[in-house]
Structure 1
Amino acid sequence: MLKNKKNTLTLAAICFSSLMFGLEISSVPVLLPGLEKLLHGSFSDVQWIMNAYTIACTTVLMATGTLADRYGRKRVFVMGLVLFGITSLFCGLATTMSVLIMSRFLQGLGGGIMLICQIAILSHQFQEGRQRSRAFAMWGIVFGTGLGFGPVIGGLILSFASWKWVFLVHFPLSILTLGFALAGIKESRNTQAQQLDVWGMILLSLAVFALTYFIIQGPVLGFGSISALLILAGSVIAFLLFLYAEKISPQPMFDFTVFRVPDFSGAVIGSVGMNFCFWPFMIYLPIYFQGVLGYNGVLAGTVLLAYTLPTLVVPPLAERLLLRYRPGVVIPLGLFSIGMGFILMWLGIHATHPGWVSMLPGTLVSGIGLGLCNTPVTNTTTGSVSANRAGMASGIDMSARLITLAVNIALMGLVLSKGIYAHLKGIFNERFSAEQLQLMAEKIAAGNFTGLNEKFPEMNILDPGGYIAHSALSYGFELLTLFGGIGVWLLALVSFYIFKPAAGKAVFR
Structure 2
Amino acid sequence: MTAHVTETVGTPRSSAPPRLGLVLAVCCLAQFLVTLSVAVVNVALPAIQSSLHFSASSLQWVVNAYTITFAGFLLLGGRIADLFGRRRVFLTGIVLFTLASLVGGISQNAGTLVTARAVQGLAAAVIAPTTLAVLGTTFTDPHQRHKAFGAWGAVSGAGGAFGALAGGVLTDWLSWRWILFVNIPLGVVLFAGVAWVITELRHEGSGKRLDVPGALAVTAGLVVLVFGIVQSGPHGWDSARTLVPLVAGLLLLGAFVVIEARVAAEPLMPLDIFRSRSVTAANVVAATSGAALFSMFYFLTLFLHQVRDYSPLRTGFAYLPLAVSIMVAAQFSAPLVRRVGARTTLVAGMTLTAGGLLWLAAIDEHATFAAALLGPTIVLGAGQGISMSASAIAGVAGVPPHQAGLASGLLNATRQLGGALGLAVLAAVATTRVNGLLDGVRPTADLVRHAYASGYALAFAVGAGIAAVGVVAAFAAPGKPRD
Q: What's the TM-score bracket when you normalise by the shorter of the two chains?
A: 0.7 to 0.9
1:322-368: CA deviations, max 9, x gaps? 23334333212321211111111112x13854334311111111111
1:275 corresponds in structure 2 to 290
CA distance in 1, matches of 2:339, 2:12: 42
Residue number in structure 2 paired with 1:403: 417
- Equivalent residue in structure 2 for 1:468, among 436, 440, 447: 447
CA 261–153 in structure 1, closer or farther in 2 if over 3 Å, else same: same
Q: Is the 8 A contact 2:211 2:267 kept in 1?
A: yes
Task: Report the counterpart of residue 437 of structure 2 in structure 1.
Answer: 423
Please say which of residues 405-414 and 65-74 is displaced more in the overlay.
65-74
Q: Which residue of structure 1 lines up, in the alignment, with residue 230 of structure 2?
A: 216
- Quickly say closer, same or farther: Cα 1:96–1:360, change in 2 above 3 A: same
Identity of aligned residues (%): 25
Name the TM-score, length of structure 1 as normaliser: 0.81
* 1:50 to 2:29 alignment: no
User: CA contact under 8 A between 1:72 and 1:188: conserved in structure 2?
Assistant: yes
* Structure 1 residues 255 and 158: CA distance shift in structure 2, 3 A: same
What is the CA distance between 1:375 and its match in structure 2? 1.6
Q: Does 1:478 align with 2:429?
A: no
Q: 2:395 aligns with which of 381, 405, 409?
A: 381
Please tell me the residue identity of whatever aligns with 2:303: Y
More deviation, 405-414/117-126? 117-126
Does residue 26 of structure 1 match 2:5? Answer: no
Gaps of 5+ in 1: 429-461, 502-509
Deviates more, 1:121-130 or 1:64-73: 121-130
Show CA shifts across 1:142-196 (max 9, x none). 5555334222122111111001101012123323433444455444432237632
Asked whether the 8 Å contact 1:215–1:414 carries over to 2, the reply is no
Q: Is the 8 A contact 2:278 2:477 kept in 1?
A: yes
- Please say if 1:265 is aligned against 2:280: yes
Q: Residue 317 in 1 paired to residue 296 in 2?
A: no
Partner of 2:3: none
Question: 1:235-246 maps to which residues of 2 (within 5 A)?
Answer: 235-246=249-260
Q: CA deviation at 1:124?
A: 6.3
Please report how far the alpha carbon of residue 24 of structure 1 lies from its aligned counterpart in structure 2 after TM superposition: 0.9
| Cα distance in 1 between the residues matched to 2:144 and 2:355 | 39
Q: Could you list the runs of 5+ residues in structure 2 that have no partner in the other structure?
A: 1-10
Greater shift in the superposed pair: 123-132 or 177-186: 123-132
Contact 1:346 1:481 (8 Å CA) reproduced = yes
Q: Higher helix fraction: Structure 1 or Structure 2?
A: 1
- 2:78–2:408 CA contact under 8 A, matched in 1: no
- Structure 2 counterparts to residues 279-358 of structure 1, below 5 A: 279-347=294-362, 349-350=363-364, 353-358=367-372
- Distance verdict in 2 for CA 1:44–1:204, change over 3 Å: farther
Measure the CA separation in 1 of the matches of 2:288 and 2:68: 18
Deviation for aligned residue 1:214: 1.6
Give SS of 1:314's match.
Answer: helix
Conserved? CA contact 2:85–2:200, under 8 Å: yes
Aligned to 2:188: 175
2:379 to 365, 371, 375: 365
Distance 1:500 1:78, change over 3 A: closer
Shift of 1:9: 7.4
Aligned 8 A contact 1:28 1:166 in 2? yes
* Cα distance change on mapping 1:41 and 1:279 into 2, 3 Å: same
Contact 2:69 2:118 in 1 (8 A): yes
Name the CA distance, whole Å, in 2 between partners of 1:407 and 1:251.
29
Judge conservation of contact 2:74–2:410 (CA < 8 Å) in 1. Answer: no
Given the superposition, is the C-alpha separation of residues 59 and 185 from structure 1 closer, same or farther in structure 2, using an over 3 Å criterion?
Answer: same
Query: TM (normalized to structure 2)?
Result: 0.85
**CA displacement 1:95-118 (0-9 Å, x = unmatched):** 333322211010111122222333
Query: Cα–Cα, structure 1 residues 396 and 75, in superposed 2: closer, same or farther, change >3 Å?
Result: closer
Q: 1:254 to 1:133 in 2, by over 3 A?
A: closer
